[in-house]
Amino acid sequence: MYDLMITLPSRALNVSDISSKQLWWYGLDFLKEKLNGNPIDFKMITADSDYLKELKSPADVLLTSCISSFIDDLSKCSNNCTKLLHILSYNFRFIKNCRNPSVKRSGQLDYSEVNKGESCLIKNLQASDFKEEIDALVEGGCISK
């Protein structure tokens, strides 16, 4: 009987046929029955201690990416140096805007933003191309010419 009520519209019945069905307008008999027992006291259920047990504890998640792998991935997207520089500069602006939401910048990049992106790009390229020399200098050794 319950299945019949659910499937009435899908049985290709005319609207007049559906509208004449008591089941359609009044539902199943159990819906008309009076509830036995006490109504649920929601104030009792939502006590803070009981409520907090059900909540998941917040988890701090830190997503990191090594700047060198980020720039390597970025350089695979384009070989246009100006384009890479602007993408990197906009990323730095995004990070700055997230850290200081009261002083958000938008629009075109200014000189200082492009300069910061350029110095980061150059430092990263130097660190990857001259890795052996930098490691030797850190250890106190000498480098070959």
pLDDT in tens, 77-106: 778 888 989 998 999 999 899 988 888 999
Distance (Å, whole) CA 34 – CA 140: 87
Q: Which pLDDT band holds residue 38 (cuts at 50, 70, 90)?
A: low
Q: What share of the chain is helix, strand, coil (3-state, %, to 5)?
A: 65, 0, 35
Crossing angle of the two packed helices 81-99 and 111-129, in degrees rounded to 10: 110
Cβ–Cβ under 8 Å, residues 58 and 36: no
pLDDT of residue 118 exceeding 80, the answer is: yes
Cβ–Cβ under 8 Å, residues 92 and 117: yes
- More confidently predicted of 4 and 66: 66
